[in-house]
């Protein structure tokens, strides 16, 4: 973001009146509030090898899976990343386009947001994690695109510690099948107030996330934990992650984000170190190990410190549950081509390749 752009926008920054940056080989054209953002080809883009093929692209704002599927089938929408799971079979059978799957560093997890509630108890966290059917979530909720995670840090972020973290992950990995009896034993030994206090989870109002929430509530019910699921509008859900006033005393939050670089310290700094953007509970248990690792020049020694952190995070099952790793998917009408199947579109000016297939 250019400082000049932000300062000139002032209080209007981020609004339809001001527009947006980060449009790559396109230029911002218009923003119809609540409906769409339109960008147009920018012929003077600095990279002459990425000259756009499309004259104009309209990004629409839809959160309803049925509406997205219907729009793709009718041709009103040419394509989408994050294809609604409920619509994949329907779209494939329609013959109007092509469905692709590619690699991604995406991770769906649960964040412990309230250290003073029942999820402040490590055994309660372990019990809930054991009881959740992560395998079923990956297969049913995410249409086979999800693989149960062994550690809080996903393999895409292992980086310099790949060998060491892979070896440790292999010692704790399961197929994600729920372990109800083991979870019940932990619940039976919990203090009475921890068992009786309601555990609250907030998820955005979308098909996959609501199914995820129901699966987690079912797991809690099966092992005798008091659990409450709250569904909120998808457009306002991010406030729960970033605004303490909105979050209140919510115990668990749904997150789906990704490794920005292949470095486990980068992921850990965001999720498990004091002031980390996804450390809503204020957990500080590995701070000393983290800063020792950051200051360690020898790569092998640094990797061993990372393994120690992951061991502690796994044993405490916090402040973020290992969840499921996701692949990326994309659907394109047969009229167009060029969108990548992989998650590279988050970093790369992919839309320059988008064009007519005819």
Report the run of H or E that residue 304 belongs to, with start and end. helix 299-316
Q: Quote the pLDDT of residue 1.
A: 83
Q: Are residues 298 and 167 in the same domain?
A: yes
Q: Are residues 295 and 186 in the same domain?
A: yes
CATH number at residue 28: 3.40.190.10
Q: Are residues 130 and 231 in the same domain?
A: yes
Tell me the C-alpha to C-alpha distance, in Å, between residue 272 and each of 187, 283, 286, 299, 303.
Answer: 25, 6, 7, 21, 17
Q: Which two structure tokens, joined as six digits, stand for 201?
A: 């989870």
Q: Which two structure tokens, joined as six digits, stand for 249?
A: 């005393």
pTM of the model: 0.90
Q: What is the mean pLDDT of the chain?
A: 95
Q: Are residues 275 and 139 in the same domain?
A: yes
Q: Are residues 44 and 57 in the same domain?
A: yes
Q: Which two structure tokens, joined as six digits, stand for 271?
A: 């999720």
pLDDT over 90 (residue 9): yes
Q: Quote the pLDDT of residue 326.
A: 96
Q: Quote the pLDDT of residue 291.
A: 98
Mean pLDDT of 334-343: 96
pLDDT per position as a tens digit, 56-83: 999 998 888 999 999 999 999 999 999 9
Q: Are residues 165 and 260 in the same domain?
A: yes
Domain total in the chain: 2
Q: Are residues 133 and 12 in the same domain?
A: no
Cβ neighbours of residue 202 closer than 8 Å, sequence gap 6 or more: 230, 231, 232, 237, 240, 250, 252, 253, 254
Q: What are the backbone angles phi and psi of residue 286, rounded to the nearest 5°?
A: -115, 15
Q: Are residues 156 and 275 in the same domain?
A: yes
Which residue intervals of 79-191 are DSSP H helices? 88-94, 122-131, 134-136, 162-172, 180-188
Q: Are residues 27 and 41 in the same domain?
A: yes
pLDDT over 90 (residue 288): yes
Quote the percentage of the chain above a pLDDT of 70: 100
pLDDT per position as a tens digit, 39-53: 999 999 999 999 999
pLDDT over 90 (residue 244): yes
Q: Quote the pLDDT of residue 34.
A: 85
Q: Which residue has the higher pLDDT, 311 or 207?
A: 311
Banded pLDDT at 22 (limits 50, 70, 90):
confident
Residues 4/24, Cβ–Cβ less than 8 Å: no
Report the run of H or E that residue 112 belongs to, with start and end. strand 97-112
Banded pLDDT at 21 (limits 50, 70, 90):
confident
Residues 222/195, Cβ–Cβ less than 8 Å: no
Q: What are the backbone angles phi and psi of residue 318, rounded to the nearest 5°?
A: -170, 170
Q: Kindly tell me the number of DSSP H helices and DSSP E strands found in the chain.
A: 14, 12
CATH number at residue 142: 3.10.105.10
Quote the percentage of the chain above a pLDDT of 90: 91
Q: Are residues 157 and 142 in the same domain?
A: yes
pLDDT per position as a tens digit, 119-133: 999 999 999 999 999
pLDDT per position as a tens digit, 177-229: 999 999 999 999 999 999 999 999 999 998 899 999 999 999 999 999 999 99
Banded pLDDT at 260 (limits 50, 70, 90):
confident
Q: Are residues 133 and 79 in the same domain?
A: no
pLDDT over 90 (residue 17): no
Q: Are residues 319 and 344 in the same domain?
A: no
Which structural domain range is residue 344 located in?
3-100+331-356
């Amino acid at each position: 973001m250019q400082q000049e752009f932000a300062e000139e926008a002032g209080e209007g920054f981020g609004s339809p009146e001001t527009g947006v940056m980060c449009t790559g080989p396109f230029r911002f054209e218009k923003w119809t509030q609540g409906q769409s953002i339109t960008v147009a080809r920018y012929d003077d883009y600095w990279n002459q090898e990425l000259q756009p093929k499309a004259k104009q692209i309209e990004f629409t704002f839809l959160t309803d899976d049925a509406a997205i599927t219907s729009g793709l089938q009718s041709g009103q929408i040419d394509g989408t990343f994050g294809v609604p799971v409920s619509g994949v079979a329907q779209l494939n059978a329609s013959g109007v386009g092509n469905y692709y799957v590619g690699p991604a560093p995406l991770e769906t997890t649960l964040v412990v947001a309230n250290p003073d509630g029942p999820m402040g108890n490590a055994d309660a966290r372990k019990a809930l994690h054991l009881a959740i059917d992560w395998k079923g979530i990956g297969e049913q909720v995410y249409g086979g695109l999800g693989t149960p995670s062994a550690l809080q840090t996903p393999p895409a972020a292992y980086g310099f510690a790949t060998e060491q973290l892979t070896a440790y992950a292999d010692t704790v990995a399961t197929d994600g099948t729920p372990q109800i009896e083991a979870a019940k034993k932990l619940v039976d030994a919990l203090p009475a107030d921890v068992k009786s206090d309601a555990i609250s989870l907030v998820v955005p109002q979308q098909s996959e996330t609501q199914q995820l929430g129901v699966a987690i509530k079912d797991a809690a019910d099966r092992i005798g934990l008091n659990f409450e699921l709250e569904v909120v509008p998808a457009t306002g859900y991010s406030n729960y992650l970033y605004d303490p006033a909105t979050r209140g005393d919510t115990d668990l939050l749904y997150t789906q984000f990704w490794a920005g670089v292949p470095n486990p310290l980068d992921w850990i700094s965001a999720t498990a170190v004091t002031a980390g953007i996804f450390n809503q509970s204020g957990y500080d248990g590995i701070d000393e190990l983290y800063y020792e690792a950051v200051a360690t020049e020898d790569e092998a020694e640094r990797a061993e410190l990372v393994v120690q952190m992951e061991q502690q995070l796994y044993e405490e099952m916090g402040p973020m549950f290992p969840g499921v790793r996701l692949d990326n998917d994309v659907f394109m009408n047969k009229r167009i081509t060029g969108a990548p199947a992989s998650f590279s579109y988050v970093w790369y000016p992919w839309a320059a390749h988008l064009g007519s297939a005819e």
